[in-house]
Chains A and B, each alone.
Chain A
Amino acid sequence: VATLDARRRTVRLAHPIYGDVVRQRMSVLRARQLRRELADAVAATGGRRRDDALKIATWRLDTGDVDAELFVRAAAEARRRHDPELAQRLAEAAHDAAPTLATLLELGLNLHILGRHEEAITLLDSSAVAPADDAGRAALALLRAQVRHRGLGQGDEVEELLQDALAATAEPAARASIGGNLATIAALRGRAAAARILAMSVLDAHPDDPDAMAALTLADTAAGRPAAAIERVQRSLAANPELDGVNVRGKARVMAVVDAGGIEAAASEAADGLEAALRAGDLRRRSWWTYTLGWVAAAQGRFGPARQFLDEAAALYRATGERHGQRWALGCGLLVAAQGRDVARGERLAEALDELAPHAATVYEVHGRRGRAWLDAARGHVAVARARLLDLGDELVAAGAAGFAVRALADVARLGDPAEAGQRLAALAPGLDGELLPVLVRLVHAWAAGDAEALSSVSESLARLGALVEAGEAAAAARDAFTRSRDQRRANASARRAAELAAATEGVATPGLLVVDVPVPLSRREREIATLVAEGRTSKEVADGLYLSVRTVESHLARVYDKLGVRSRSELGPALGLVAS
Chain B
Amino acid sequence: VRSLYDLIGGGPTIRVVVDELYTTLTTDPLVRHHFAPERMESLKAGQRRWFTSVLGGPPDGPVPDLAAAHASLVITDEQIAAVIRHLAEALDHAGVAEEPRDRVLAIAERLWYARLF
A: residues with CB less than 8 A from B are 1-2, 6-7, 10, 14-15, 17-18, 20-21, 85, 275, 278-279, 281, 308, 311-312, 314-316, 318-319, 326, 329-330, 333, 348-349, 352, 524-525, 546-548
Determine which of B4, B33, B110, B111 lies in contact with A315 in the assembled complex, contact meaning CB atoms within 8 Å: B4
Residues of chain A contacted by B1 (CB below 8 angstroms): 311, 314-315, 318, 326, 329-330, 333, 348-349, 352
Cα-based distance from A126 to B65 in the complex (angstroms): 36
The answer to whether A6 and B72 have CB atoms under 8 Å apart is yes
| CA gap between A311 and B105 in the complex, in Å | 15
A to B CB contacts below 8 Å, 28 in the list = A1-B33, A1-B73, A2-B72, A17-B68, A21-B42, A85-B62, A275-B114, A278-B116, A279-B114, A279-B116, A308-B106, A311-B1, A311-B4, A312-B103, A314-B3, A315-B4, A315-B5, A318-B3, A318-B56, A326-B1, A333-B1, A348-B1, A348-B2, A525-B98, A546-B102, A547-B85, A547-B105, A548-B88
Contact pattern, B 93-117, Cβ under 8 Å of A = 1, otherwise 0: 0000011001101110011001010
In the complex, the chain B residue whose C-beta lies closest to that of A326 is B1
Is B16 on the interface with A (CB-CB < 8 A)? no
| Per-position 1/0 for B74-97, Cβ under 8 A of A | 000000000011001000000000
- Chain A residues in 8 Å Cβ range of B59: 319
Docked complex Cα distance between A20 and B63 (Å)? 12
Closest to B68 in A: A15
Residue in A1, A6, A333 whose Cβ sees the most chain B Cβ within 10 Å: A1
Name the residue of chain A whose CB is nearest to the CB of B85. A547
Separation in Å of the B86 CB from the closest CB of chain A?
10
Q: Which residues of B in the span 11-36 have a Cβ within 8 Å of any Cβ on A?
A: 33-34, 36
The listed residue with most B CB atoms (<10 A of its CB), out of A20, A318, A330, is A318
Known: A312-B4, A312-B103, A329-B1. 13 other contacts (CB 8 A): A1-B34, A6-B72, A10-B72, A15-B65, A20-B62, A21-B42, A85-B62, A279-B114, A279-B116, A308-B106, A311-B2, A333-B1, A546-B102
Main secondary structure of the interface of B (DSSP, over half): helix
Q: Specify which of B1, B2, B107 lies most central, judged by the most chain A CB atoms within 10 Å of its CB.
A: B1
- Are A7 and B68 interface neighbours, CB within 8 A? no
Given contacts A15-B65, A17-B68, A330-B1, contact A278 B114 (CB under 8 A): yes
Residues of B with C-beta under 8 A to A15: 65, 68
A-contact 0/1 string along B32-63, CB 8 Å cutoff: 01101000001000000000010110010010
Q: List, in ascending order, chain B residues with CB within 8 A of A524's CB.
A: 98-99
CA distance A352 to B72 in the complex (A): 43
Q: How far is the CA of A6 from the CA of B71 in the complex (A)?
A: 12
